[in-house]
Amino acid sequence: MTRILANDGITVGCKEALENAGFEVSLDNVPQKKLNEELKNFDVLLVRSATKVRKETIDACPNLKMIGRGGVGMDNIDVEYAQEKGIEVINTPAASSASVGELVFAHLFGMARFLPDSNRNMPLEGDTQFKELKKKFAKGVELRGKTLGIIGIGRIGQATANIALGVGMKVIATDPYIDDVTIDVDINGQNIPVDIKTIKFNKLLKQSDYITIHVPGGDKPVIGKKQFDMMKDGVGVVNCARGGVINEVDLVKAIEAGKVAYAGLDVFENEPKPAMQILMNDKISLTPHIGAATLEAQDRIGMELADKIIAFFGN
Q: Is 107 a catalytic residue?
A: no
Answer for the pair 115, 109: CB distance below 8 angstroms, yes or no: yes
Q: Strand order in 24-26's β-sheet?
A: 24-26, 3-6, 44-47, 66-69, 88-91
The residue type of 307 is D
Answer for the pair 196, 153: CB distance below 8 angstroms, yes or no: yes
Which residue spans within 60-124 are E strands per DSSP? 66-69, 88-91
Answer for the pair 70, 45: CB distance below 8 angstroms, yes or no: no
Q: Which of 214, 242, 248, 269 is catalytic?
A: 242
Under 8 Å CB-to-CB from 76, ≥6 apart: which residues?
Answer: 47, 49, 50, 51, 52, 53, 69
The DSSP call for residue 86 is: T
Q: Is 271 a catalytic residue?
A: yes
The residue type of 205 is L
Cα 59 from Cα 26, distance rounded (Å): 22
Element (H, E) at 32: helix 32-38
Nearest to 97 by CA among 308, 304, 245: 304
> 58 φ, ψ to 5°?
-60, -45
Q: Is 242 a catalytic residue?
A: yes
Cα 59 from Cα 81, distance rounded (Å): 10
β-pairing verdict for 180-187 and 190-197: antiparallel
Q: Which of 125, 142, 256, 271 is catalytic?
A: 271
Collapse the DSSP code of 251 into the 3-class scheme (helix H, G, I; strand E, B; otherwise coil) and give the result: helix
First vs last C-alpha separation in the chain: 11
Q: Which residues are catalytic?
A: 242, 271, 289
